[in-house]
Structure 1
């Protein structure tokens, strides 16, 4: 047994060395730097920060490099590192209405205060390979809209003026922290939004798509999608007021959904909400659709049994780190378990064969 253990250790060390060699690749090609990943693979960096629930582009870029581009592995690295960090305080809620926007579009109003700002987007590009990128030349500077950098009001405020959209209830209760407390069901909306904010983008996208195809009874419009930077502030008791300590980039989506009304509420539009670290449009839109589908009970709607309406199904399976851990553990040694099942199948086969012999003889 001791020899087997030592042999296993040598094999693991060799596997680590081989992994490092594969990560580096051809030594004749310049090594990819953290700055290059941060600046040129920004959307991958943003996804790792969002699902890792840690806003640090440099660390996310490092995780991507270490994980050889496997974003879920990179998220795992960030989550693990996050647990080692001290928590000094909690910031005040960020004010997305004061966001300095780089992109802001609405599918519900063509003309809106502050205007539509297309910003950097794939929406209007041809999905054709750009072989000019292989020449590695410098891209020309993009013209900037004069509206970029200005704070603009939320589009839903236009609907709110006429009472056409539900009012957001105010609560002064401190929401539970999913990163420090285990998930408990049923979960309130604040906890659900926390889980969705760091949920796997692909899983959230699939659920959102299912609601659009009828599995969730929602017909959503993007009231507003905005990307920009917001100030992060903390309150210092010795000063008696909040102090700005930096800014972060966020993507926010408010979806607008029909609502037939209830005994106490007239027909109006309802909201779905998505807020994600960094630039992550697909994730924020998906999050807002799933958020709305999960609100069926509080809005007095029928549950048609759609996956996106099932809180336990959504919240228990949306975390890619939990899913990865449970999935990949089955490739680890299960010799004893398998031997037990192997013996059971052999015994059952023997009994079945023995039971068939009298019939064969007849």
Structure 2
């Protein structure tokens, strides 16, 4: 096995050269620039930043280019780079209530303070191919919109004022926030680690789990209380200054799901919550995350854990696309010794079977 790998070094080098050539494609086609990827494939860049857990549009665009558009491979590249970076500390919790909103919708109330802001979305488009895009023509009338600076209180805060929804869980100020990138995941996991895991999780996996909860595998058919996308300022506590200083803004998508009533003999019924947060405009990811977050709170809320989306170990252990890819794709590596061992054992068992069952052997012959 190892001799075969060593003997294939030249072949591997040639495979790398072929990959570089395939990545470039036809030389009479202009090469993609990072600005083109960042600006025109923005949603792919947003996904790579979220699941790669590194907010850097240029690096995410570079990873997509290097990976030939394979987003999971690009996520792997970004995570590998992130692991080489020094860490200086943690930012202050971002205030999404102060977000400069570019898109904001709610399916629970038609009229909400600050208004519904449709923003850039596929939601209202016809799913028909646009031949004009093949011609490379720009829109006849460029559309621009500034982020709304108007106060936009969260819909869940409006419900909370009337006691109609549970309080948003607040972490203990004295307890350290877990770091999934530096500490192994253990069970049971706190909600801080669960949300970190879901934020880095594969979008398709979360989408399937979220869909399953709506079909009855988890008693979870919520309302989208609010989905908002925009820029949020990030602050960092500077030791030398003695106060938090602004580092800049990041684009985020936040989703608050409003779920079924919950009550008890001593507590009035009220809605419960599911929460999702992702880099960039990542609505499908944030919504799926919120659905799964609520499903994973089943035990906390006194519900029976019966569905896959409610099983913490199942969800958190299988949601990471880098780990999943590695485990699936390792099957492409040489397994000659293992297979020969299995093959030898199978032949031995068949020989013993034929000796014990001569009549079956004769019928087969």
TM normalised by structure 1 equals 0.96
Q: Does 1:336 align with 2:340?
A: no
2:57 aligns with 57
- Spell out the pairing of 1:171-320 with structure 2 (5 A cutoff): 171=171, 172=173, 173-303=175-305, 305-320=306-321
**1:359–1:210 CA distance, 2 compared to 1 (3 A):** closer
Worse-matched range after superposition: 150-159 or 135-144 = 135-144
Q: Deviations over 1:219-245 (max 9, x none)?
A: 200000000000011011222211001
CA–CA distance in 1 between the matches of 2:2 and 2:288?
52
- Spell out the pairing of 1:84-99 with structure 2 (5 A cutoff): 84-99=84-99
Q: Deviations over 1:152-171 (max 9, x none)?
A: 11111110111000012322
CA–CA distance in 1 between the matches of 2:160 and 2:233?
25
CA–CA distance in 1 between the matches of 2:180 and 2:127?
38
**1:3–1:167 CA distance, 2 compared to 1 (3 A):** closer
CA–CA distance in 1 between the matches of 2:180 and 2:349?
46
How many Å apart are 1:143 and its aligned residue? Answer: 5.0
Give unpaired runs (5+ residues) of structure 1: none
Report runs of 4+ in structure 1 exceeding 3 Å deviation.
Answer: 1-7, 358-362
- Report the 3-state secondary structure (helix = DSSP H, G, I; strand = E; otherwise coil) of the residue aligned with 1:248: strand
1:115 aligns with 115
CA–CA distance in 1 between the matches of 2:176 and 2:342?
49
How many Å apart are 1:359 and its aligned residue? Answer: 6.8
CA–CA distance in 1 between the matches of 2:274 and 2:291?
6
Q: Deviations over 1:25-45 (max 9, x none)?
A: 000010011110000000000
Contact 2:113/2:151, CA 8 A, preserved across alignment: no
Contact 1:274/1:285, CA 8 A, preserved across alignment: yes
Worse-matched range after superposition: 157-166 or 136-145 = 136-145
**1:186–1:4 CA distance, 2 compared to 1 (3 A):** closer
CA–CA distance in 2 between the matches of 1:285 and 1:151?
23
Contact 2:166/2:271, CA 8 A, preserved across alignment: yes
- Spell out the pairing of 1:144-183 with structure 2 (5 A cutoff): 144=145, 148-171=148-171, 172=173, 173-183=175-185
**1:162–1:85 CA distance, 2 compared to 1 (3 A):** same
Contact 1:207/1:307, CA 8 A, preserved across alignment: yes
**1:99–1:361 CA distance, 2 compared to 1 (3 A):** closer
How many Å apart are 1:4 and its aligned residue? Answer: 5.7
CA RMSD of aligned residues (A): 1.8
**1:137–1:179 CA distance, 2 compared to 1 (3 A):** same
CA–CA distance in 1 between the matches of 2:14 and 2:111?
62
1:46 aligns with 46
Contact 2:262/2:272, CA 8 A, preserved across alignment: no
Contact 1:101/1:151, CA 8 A, preserved across alignment: no
**1:220–1:150 CA distance, 2 compared to 1 (3 A):** same
**1:231–1:3 CA distance, 2 compared to 1 (3 A):** closer
CA–CA distance in 2 between the matches of 1:8 and 1:296?
51
Contact 1:103/1:226, CA 8 A, preserved across alignment: yes
Contact 2:354/2:360, CA 8 A, preserved across alignment: no
**1:73–1:5 CA distance, 2 compared to 1 (3 A):** closer
How many Å apart are 1:9 and its aligned residue? Answer: 1.1
CA–CA distance in 1 between the matches of 2:361 and 2:129?
66
How many Å apart are 1:2 and its aligned residue? Answer: 10
TM normalised by structure 2 equals 0.95
Contact 1:230/1:249, CA 8 A, preserved across alignment: yes
Count of equivalent residues: 360
How many Å apart are 1:264 and its aligned residue? Answer: 3.4
